[in-house]
Chains A and B, each alone.
Chain A
Amino acid sequence: MAELKVTAIKEGTVIDHIPAGKGLKVIEILHLSRPNGGVLLLASNVHSKKLGKKDIVKIEGKFLSEEEVNKISLIAPTATVNIVRDYGVAEKFNVEIPDEIVGILRCANPNCVSNHEYVTSKFYVVSREPLKVRCHYCERTMEESEILSNL
């Protein structure tokens, strides 16, 4: 009963099955630790049947949009998202790496036009395992470590 180790939330989002150690990164990417935000709970290294160990993030009063879910999928492809209403799970879905990543990631190529002009970045997922994407503009490919540092 891992979920009971942190307080249940009334309304909001629970991101479960985050690979252990990536919970803080999820919080950072989603900008969840704002001082005026709702209650935020992080459980790290929780026992998991599926992953061995996992992180869990609970956010009170915030429902994740699809775009935000996509952001998480890049660093936590195993994550599951629960939308909680009145202490119950109202919706549950797995995050998936989309075929195209739009507007979330910055191109690692400093000479890419997307870093100089007013454009929405766009990447095509070339491979999911290992994660590799290609920039729509400069056509360079980025691997996982570059992707993570440019989110």
Chain B
Amino acid sequence: MEWKGRDVISVRDFSKEDIEFVLKIAERLEERLNKKGHLEYARGKILATLFFEPSTRTRLSFESAMHRLGGSVIGFSSAASTSVKKGESLADTIKTVEQYSDVIVIRHPMEGAARLAAEVAEIPVINAGDGSNQHPTQTLLDLYTIKRAFGRIDGLRIGLLGDLKYGRTVHSLAEALAFYDVELYLISPELLRMPKHIVEELREKGVKVHETTDLEGTVPELDVLYVTRIQRERFPDEQEYLKVKGSYQVNCAVLKNAKESLKIMHPLPRVDEIHPEVDRTPHALYFRQVFSGVPVRMALLGLTLGVLEG
């Protein structure tokens, strides 16, 4: 697969080989970065970050990745200060911005916006979240974090905890994990179970899936516990949100029977799903996970710009 000029829009567009390749390049870049402190692959290249919706982590991580590759960054972090406010179409905004840059990273509140941007633009477009649909770079950095921590993904028992109904992160991650030989434990309140069609799809792909509401009883089985926040903004009904709000928390008591090697992940920001007391335990991997965003995004930027050797 030719990477130069390729768009990164959805996990669905990726094969297992694609994923493995990105993870391999990310690892190589991380090593080189550790040795040299700064790389020059993207010198003279410009990244445009178009954030029509606020985000701290993802935007800063992309910008950091581009700077660490030796490139520069332009962009905006809210639609309020742009021509969109004046009624400009997304297509026109993209056609304009691509005149100023070599690669575009877009986050947009509407589902499908990144796909549309990629169709309009001649330069590569990377999706940094389109509404409640996809956030492929998060999935790749999650996989990278797991691979770095365990040296492998195959053979692991992975628990996904929290809002499995509305959470796009867990949907994409589960889809990507289906490429590997893993056992999945879907742990959630009854109201927030993983949509049936996704569970069926996972089983069809040969993944062993367990669905449960029992966090404490499941923890001892796990190698990875991936925790997510209940996102109030995704609930169509406030009553439904109130019923499940605060319904689970990972703390030291819950973890008392965990394997020593258990790693806990979280896409962040967290609210109260993981007690801060867990931060000091060797289980906490979520800040390391944040760090993974940089090498993975460096790999994607470098590959789509065509500035890295294979």
Q: Do A and B bind each other?
A: yes
Indicate if the CB atoms of A139 and B112 lie closer than 8 Å: yes
* Chain B residues within 8 Å of A119, by CB: 91, 116
Indicate if the CB atoms of A141 and B197 lie closer than 8 Å: yes
* Chain A residues within 8 Å of B109, by CB: 111
Residue A138 contacts which of B12, B91, B111 (CB distance < 8 angstroms)?
Answer: B111
Indicate if the CB atoms of A113 and B115 lie closer than 8 Å: yes
Q: How far is the CB of B196 from chain A (nearest CB, A)?
A: 12
Query: Which residue from chain A places its CB closest to the CB of B112 in the assembled complex?
Result: A137
Indicate if the CB atoms of B111 and A109 lie closer than 8 Å: yes
Q: Does B110 contact A (CB under 8 A)?
A: yes
Q: How far is the CB of A107 from chain B (nearest CB, A)?
A: 8
Indicate if the CB atoms of B110 and A113 lie closer than 8 Å: yes
Indicate if the CB atoms of B115 and A136 lie closer than 8 Å: yes
Q: How far is the CB of B245 from chain A (nearest CB, A)?
A: 24
Indicate if the CB atoms of B134 and A139 lie closer than 8 Å: yes
Q: Does B90 contact A (CB under 8 A)?
A: yes
Q: Does A5 contact B (CB under 8 A)?
A: no
* Chain B residues within 8 Å of A116, by CB: 110
Q: Does A43 contact B (CB under 8 A)?
A: no
* Chain B residues within 8 Å of A80, by CB: none
CA distance A13 to B133 in the complex (A): 42
Query: Which residue from chain A places its CB closest to the CB of B134 in the assembled complex?
Result: A139
CB-CB contacts of B115-133 with A at 8 A, as 1s and 0s?
Answer: 1100000000000001111
Indicate if the CB atoms of A113 and B89 lie closer than 8 Å: no
Q: How far is the CB of B64 from chain A (nearest CB, A)?
A: 28
CA distance A112 to B110 in the complex (A): 6
Q: Does A114 contact B (CB under 8 A)?
A: yes
Indicate if the CB atoms of B133 and A138 lie closer than 8 Å: yes
Q: Does B10 contact A (CB under 8 A)?
A: yes
Q: How far is the CB of B92 from chain A (nearest CB, A)?
A: 10
CA distance A137 to B131 in the complex (A): 11
Given A111-B131, A138-B131, verify A117-B116 contact (CB < 8 Å): yes
* Chain B residues within 8 Å of A135, by CB: 112
Q: Does B113 contact A (CB under 8 A)?
A: yes
* Chain A residues within 8 Å of B108, by CB: 113
Q: How far is the CB of A105 from chain B (nearest CB, A)?
A: 14
Indicate if the CB atoms of A117 and B91 lie closer than 8 Å: yes
* Chain B residues within 8 Å of A113, by CB: 90, 108, 110-113, 115-116, 130
Q: For chain A residues 57-83, which have a beta carbon within 8 Å of chain B? A: none
Q: Does A140 contact B (CB under 8 A)?
A: yes
* Chain A residues within 8 Å of B112, by CB: 112-114, 135-139
Residue A117 contacts which of B10, B89, B197 (CB distance < 8 angstroms)?
Answer: B89
Q: How far is the CB of B230 from chain A (nearest CB, A)?
A: 20
Q: How far is the CB of A6 from chain B (nearest CB, A)?
A: 43
CA distance A118 to B113 in the complex (A): 12
Indicate if the CB atoms of A139 and B111 lie closer than 8 Å: yes
Residue A111 contacts which of B89, B90, B91, B110 (CB distance < 8 angstroms)?
Answer: B110
Given A111-B111, A112-B112, A139-B112, verify A118-B131 contact (CB < 8 Å): no
Query: Which residue from chain A places its CB closest to the CB of B111 in the assembled complex?
Result: A138
CB-CB contacts of B121-150 with A at 8 A, as 1s and 0s?
Answer: 000000000111110000000000000000
Residue A137 contacts which of B89, B116, B132 (CB distance < 8 angstroms)?
Answer: B116
Query: Which residue from chain A places its CB closest to the CB of B115 in the assembled complex?
Result: A137
CA distance A116 to B84 in the complex (A): 13
Query: Which residue from chain B places its CB closest to the CB of A139 in the assembled complex?
Result: B133
* Chain A residues within 8 Å of B10, by CB: 139
Query: Which residue from chain B places its CB closest to the CB of A138 in the assembled complex?
Result: B111
Query: Which residue from chain A places its CB closest to the CB of B11 in the assembled complex?
Result: A139
CA distance A117 to B116 in the complex (A): 9
Query: Which residue from chain B places its CB closest to the CB of A115 in the assembled complex?
Result: B110
CA distance A112 to B130 in the complex (A): 10
Query: Which residue from chain A places its CB closest to the CB of B12 in the assembled complex?
Result: A139
Query: Which residue from chain A places its CB closest to the CB of B116 in the assembled complex?
Result: A113
Q: For chain A residues 111-151, which have a beta carbon within 8 Å of chain B? A: 111-114, 116-119, 135-141
Sample of 22 A–B contacts (CB below 8 Å):
A109-B111, A111-B110, A111-B131, A112-B112, A113-B90, A113-B108, A113-B110, A113-B112, A113-B115, A113-B116, A113-B130, A117-B89, A118-B89, A118-B91, A137-B115, A138-B130, A138-B131, A139-B10, A139-B12, A139-B111, A140-B111, A141-B197
Q: A112-B112, A113-B112, A139-B134 are in contact. List 5 more A-B contacts (CB 8 A).
A: A111-B110, A114-B116, A117-B91, A118-B91, A139-B112
